[in-house]
């Protein structure tokens, strides 16, 4: 299985997958890491682990970036595209080229607390503000829409991130075994 990763920052999900590949736990190959931020730590991690890295800015020309992104993923012959904290909505060219082969991990149980602007600590703050006592992470196929005592947001974020990074590895193991996947969720309480 050939994997491409899109990350705007640290790429914690990507790091977990690459570590599982290197440990022999996942029969896959990390082919490319692409970021819309030149200084994203995910790019440095990719280089340190021998993975091709690319910087494709999405501003000021999102349409050109969309075409370039689809081309780069195609050139790397990826089977699956994994969003690892990629903070840009994908364009129609990339979505069409990789339809039903783009996965995102979202730090809440969807459909609650998803949508435009709901990422990172914002999600955890919204969960806490709602009074919910259970949260988790969801892996979903990407389409044209966004994400279809006291606990602080910082601590809650750390707990969810620890569970969330393992979801990609588990999902990819299932895909390697040719099992059907729609949405996999883990609960944290």
Q: What is the pLDDT of residue 64?
A: 97
Q: How confident is the model at residue 150 (pLDDT cuts 50, 70, 90)?
A: very low
Q: What is the pLDDT of residue 151?
A: 43
The per-residue pLDDT for range 36-62, each reduced to its tens digit, is 999 999 999 999 999 999 999 999 899
The per-residue pLDDT for range 97-142, each reduced to its tens digit, is 999 899 888 666 666 666 676 677 787 787 778 787 877 777 778 8
Dihedral angle computed from the Cα positions of residues 167, 170, 176 and 178, in that order, rounded to the nearest 10 degrees: -90
The per-residue pLDDT for range 67-85, each reduced to its tens digit, is 999 999 999 999 999 999 8
Question: In this structure, what DSSP letter does residue 90 have?
Answer: P
> So which residues are the catalytic ones?
106
Question: Tokens in use for 144?
Answer: 């044209």
* Residue pair 120/157 in contact by the 8 Å Cβ criterion: yes
Q: What is the pLDDT of residue 149?
A: 35
To 10 degrees, what angle do helices 41-48 and 12-22 make?
A: 10
């Amino acid at each position: 299985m050939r994997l491409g990763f899109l990350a705007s920052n640290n790429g914690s999900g990507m790091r977990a997958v690459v570590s599982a590949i290197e440990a022999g736990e996942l029969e896959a190959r990390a082919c490319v890491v692409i970021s819309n931020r030149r200084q994203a730590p995910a790019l440095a991690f990719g280089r340190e682990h021998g993975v091709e890295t690319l910087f494709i800015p999405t501003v000021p020309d999102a349409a050109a970036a969309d075409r370039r992104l689809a081309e780069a993923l195609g050139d790397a012959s990826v089977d699956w595209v994994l969003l690892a904290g990629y903070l840009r909505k994908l364009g129609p060219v990339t979505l069409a080229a990789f339809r039903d082969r783009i996965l995102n991990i979202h730090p809440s149980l969807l459909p609650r607390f998803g949508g435009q602007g709901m990422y990172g600590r914002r999600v955890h703050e919204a969960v806490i503000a709602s009074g919910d006592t259970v949260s988790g992470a969801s892996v979903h196929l990407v389409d044209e829409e966004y994400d279809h005592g006291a606990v602080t947001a910082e601590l809650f974020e750390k707990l969810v991130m620890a569970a969330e990074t393992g979801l990609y590895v588990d999902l990819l193991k299932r895909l390697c075994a040719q099992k059907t996947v729609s949405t996999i969720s883990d609960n944290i309480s």
